[in-house]
Every structure is written in C-alpha cells, then in structure tokens.
Amino acid sequence: MKSCKLNLRNLNKSYIDYDIEFVKCFQRDIKKSKNAIQQETTIEPIYTKDFEAKIKGKSANRLVLGFNKFTIPDNKIFEIELYEKGGGRHMKLAVENKYIIRAEPLFGK
C-alpha cells in the first residue's frame, strides 16, 4: 500500500449552514498533562475529492482525503480538523495509530 484514503461523512445537526474555512491534518502528541508542550506535524493530503465548502443545515456532506502512506508512533495521534469560517464551531476527528495500521487495501494486495 503506497497511499491511504479516508472517506469522511460530515453531519451538520444545526439549522445553521457550516461554511468550511479550511481543513487541517496533523499528528500531535497525546496530551499527558496540562503543562506539557504539544508538538504538531502537519500531514498534507495529496488528494481531495467531493470537497464542498458548505455543509447545509440539517444535512451532511462527504470529504475524501488521500495521503502518502504513513504511520504514527503510539504516543501520538492523527487529527483532522474542519474550521468554520467566521464562527466558533470546529469539527475534530482523532485517529489512534492502532486504527491506521489495521487499514485494509481497497483493491487486493
């Protein structure tokens, strides 16, 4: 496997449209204590599909992100964040390494 693909379904339960300003993908340290310094490493997608900059109220959309093959250490976590334009609602998906290494190929080996 040379790349991995994530198929995300974003659900807006509010009646207010969610305008996406940007999507941020990175790995960071798992938070151990309040005083610990968090280190983030950006992981840029090499492929995006079905990206719509708006999730209408009471609806959902789909976002497909492709990345070069990667794994992360057990003491780190992979996160995808969607930031709302001009608002305070931010969506976050955190994925532990144990789920990444269990990924299966889409088309055989």
Q: pLDDT at position 22, please?
A: 94
CA-to-CA distance for 67 and 35, rounded, in angstroms?
A: 32
- Would you say 3 and 68 are in contact if contact means Cβ atoms under 8 Å apart? yes
- At 109, the pLDDT band (50, 70, 90 cuts) reads low
Give the pLDDT confidence of 43-91 residue by residue, as tens digits: 999 999 888 899 999 999 999 999 999 989 988 999 999 999 998 999 9
Residue 63 CB neighbours (<10 A): 20
Neighbours of 43 (CB within 10 A): 18
The SS3 call for residue 97 is helix
pLDDT value of residue 95: 94
Q: Which CATH number fits domain 3-100: 1.10.260, 1.25.40, 2.40.160, 2.60.40?
A: 2.60.40
Q: What percent of the chain has pLDDT over 90?
A: 63
Mean predicted lDDT score pLDDT of the chain: 90
Q: Could you tell me if 83 and 20 are in contact, meaning their C-beta atoms sit under 8 angstroms apart? A: yes
Phi (first) and psi of residue 89, to 5 degrees: -85, 120
Q: What are phi and psi of 65, to 5 degrees?
A: -120, 135
Tell me the two tokens of residue 98: 């144990």
Q: What is the pTM of this model?
A: 0.86
